[in-house]
Amino acid sequence: MLQRVVLGQPQSPTISQLTDLSVRELATVIPFAILILWIGLYPSPLMEMMNSSVTGLVQHMAPYHISVLSEVAFR
């Protein structure tokens, strides 16, 4: 269906025989689409969960940040 909408009628008879998504494929794709939409619209629970580990990583890498920038700037 998407191909016909975007690209028009298929040029090859092999391509015209392809079917749309099956029920099993839709059952797989729909939960992922809902999850992606939910994370895009309401990311704060995910960000709160990652906050402590990201803060620890940033604090751990902070001393290296200045030395790497100075080495890159003088090359």
pLDDT 10s digits, 59-71: 888 877 666 555 5
Q: Which amino acid is at 6?
A: V
**Residues 28, 57 within the same domain:** no
**Residues 34, 67 within the same domain:** no
d(CA 52, CA 21): 40
**Residues 36, 53 within the same domain:** no
Element (H, E) at 66: helix 44-73
Tokens of residue 71, six digits: 């080495």
In this prediction the pTM is 0.54
pLDDT digits (tens, 9 = 90+) for 15-25: 777 787 889 99
Q: What is the CA radius of gyration of the chain?
A: 24
Tokens of residue 72, six digits: 């890159």
**Residues 29, 60 within the same domain:** no
- Give the range of the structural domain holding residue 49, as residue numbers without chain letter: 44-75
**Residues 6, 37 within the same domain:** yes
Domain count along the chain: 2
**Residues 28, 51 within the same domain:** no
